Amino acid sequence: MAKGKPSQAEPSACRLYLVTPPALVPAAFAPLLVEALDAGDVACVQLRLKDCSDDEIRRACDALRPIAQEREVAFILNDHPRLAREMGCDGVHVGQGDTPYRDARKIMGNDAIVGVTCHDSRHLAMVAAEDGADYVAFGAFFPTDTKLTEHHAAPELLNWWSELMEVPCVAIGGITAANCAPLVSAGADFLAVVNAVWGHPGGPGAGVKALNAAIAAAPSDWVIDTASDAATIAADDATSTPDGSDAG
């Protein structure tokens, strides 16, 4: 996608990218999705069902895709480009062990969104961007119970990418309202979250509101604090220091 796609907001603004829980009952999940999307700004929803049959994925698409698309929120399917196309999804997300990007693009067509997992790799991201990916996804930034993760990314990667490249970058992995500021300040175009929204104690609407507020409050400048060799955000008074520590 072009910088900011599928955003209708300012191209430079960081936006929320919701990823569904890995197992769900569509009829029970639909009102939760409505609550999340009606609570604030969400750029896209990724349906991420693991260990489900194609028919289960089709049924979930039928129930959830209209909820997103009626609200002009892009609906992206994880892992399954053929099903994504068949079910009228706006795009597909593929990982390094999934259908290769070029095949996914052929299946989806040029107008669809195709995003690619790049872990913590500059090389994978440059290859994906060069091939035409609409976004590259980096992570995991923080510990997460949602997925077993082998790769760990740091905010510097987002800063490097966003300074150099036009292709948007998505940050994922253990992101919460309490720890997201360094990622926003470093230049993430989208924050992809599961548990911070669907596991929020106040419900998914409260989760979206908390993340929207945290994104809006994040300092806009990013500097490296060479003295401590740690990434430090320069707030207006150059005194704030992110630690992202609530997730360990």
Ligand X SMILES: Cc1ncsc1CCOP(=O)(O)O
Ligand Y SMILES: Cc1ncc(COP(=O)(O)OP(=O)(O)O)c(N)n1
79 carries a ligand binding annotation:
yes
Q: Which is nearer to ligand X, 85 or 152 (CB)?
A: 152
Task: Rule CB under 6 A: say whether 157 interacts with ligand X.
Answer: no
Span interacting with ligand X, options 79-87, 100-108, 170-178, 201-209, rule CB under 6 A:
170-178
Kindly state the smallest distance separating residue 235's Cβ from ligand X, in Å: 25
232 carries a ligand binding annotation:
no
Kindly state the smallest distance separating residue 216's Cβ from ligand X, in Å: 19
Task: Rule CB under 6 A: say whether 195 interacts with ligand X.
Answer: yes
Task: Rule CB under 6 A: say whether 210 interacts with ligand X.
Answer: no
Task: Rule CB under 6 A: say whether 172 interacts with ligand X.
Answer: yes
146 carries a ligand binding annotation:
yes
98 carries a ligand binding annotation:
yes
Task: Rule CB under 6 A: say whether 152 interacts with ligand X.
Answer: no
Span interacting with ligand Y, options 93-101, 124-132, 154-162, 238-246, rule CB under 6 A:
93-101
Q: Are strands 190-193 and 230-234 parallel, antiparallel or unpaired?
A: unpaired
Q: What is the DSSP string of the chain?
A: --TTTT--S-TTS-EEEEE--SS--HHHHHHHHHHHHHHS---EEEE---S--HHHHHHHHHHHHHHHHTTT-EEEEES-HHHHHHTT-SEEEE-TTSS-HHHHHHHH-TTSEEEEEEET-HHHHHHHHHHT-SEEEEE--S--SSS-------HHHHHHHHHH-SS-EEEESS--TTT-HHHHHHT-SEEEESHHHHT-TT-HHHHHHHHHHHHHHS-SEEEEETTTTEEEEE-TTS------GGG-
Q: Which of 146, 162, 179, 232 binds ligand X (CB under 6 A)?
A: 146
Kindly state the smallest distance separating residue 22's Cβ from ligand Y, in Å: 8
Q: Are strands 190-193 and 169-172 parallel, antiparallel or unpaired?
A: parallel
55 carries a ligand binding annotation:
no
Distances (CA, A) of 1 to 17, 80, 196, 225, 238: 14, 19, 25, 33, 34
Q: Could you say which residues in the range 2-41 bind ligand X, by CB under 6 A? A: 19
239 carries a ligand binding annotation:
no
Binding site for ligand Y (CB under 6 A): 17, 19, 46, 48, 78-79, 93, 95, 98, 115, 117, 137, 147, 170, 172, 192
- Which chain residues interact with ligand X by CB under 6 A? 19, 139-140, 144, 146-147, 149, 172-175, 193-196
Specify binding-site residues. 46-50, 78-79, 98, 117, 144-147, 174
